[in-house]
Structures are given as structure tokens and as C-alpha cells.
Amino acid sequence: MKVVLQVGKALALLFWGAVLVNLSEPFAQPFAGLLQLAGALLVGLHLLQLVLFGACLRGAPRLWLARLQVLLFGAFQLFDAYEAQPAVMPVGASALEGVQHA
């Protein structure tokens, strides 16, 4: 799964690089306009992801960096951050209770 996330992040960087190049030196029409529209839609989608899944990032050591990565990579970064979170035990449960019942 890590490989899929890394490839997705690399493709996202490639897309953002094309959007930046298009801003400095526009491609032929209609591709320039379509690429700008796709970039604007993707920024809007990633902002929506930040709003909806912002609570998942609260435990990050550098919150601003985690938010920036979500803006760049979107769901690839969210899934990566979700995998990195430790499993949370239910309230009232402890490791000893699980061992005693075994």
C-alpha cells in the first residue's frame, strides 16, 4: 500500500508542476484553460478535505506541514496520516483486561 501512496504523491507533484509551468508560460489553448480549471477544482477539493478531515491531523507534530501536505497531495496524504496513527483502545479498556480474559 505504501508504494501506491508514494506513486500517487509523485503523480500529484507532477500535476502541480504542470499547473505552475502553465501559469508562467501558458500551453496552447484549450489545454491552458482546462489545466487552470482542473488546478482550481483540485485546490477547492483539497480545502474541503482539510475542513472535513482536519481532526485527523490534530495529533501531527507540525500541524502546518501536515495541512500543506494535504493541500498538495489530498487523499494520499490523509490516508498516509490515518495509517500512521496508533490504534486507540476503547474507553475503560486496558491491556491488562485483555490479558486476564484470555
Pull the grid cell for residue 32.
491552458
Mean pLDDT to the nearest integer, 59-82: 80
* Residue indicated by cell numbers 507540525: 62
Instruction: Note the pLDDT tens digit of each residue in 16-49.
Output: 999 999 999 988 889 999 999 999 999 999 899 8
Question: What residues have CB less than 8 Å from 66, skipping those under 6 apart?
Answer: 57, 60, 77, 81
Across all residues in the chain, what is the average pLDDT?
A: 80
- Closest Cα to residue 42, out of 65, 76, 66? 76
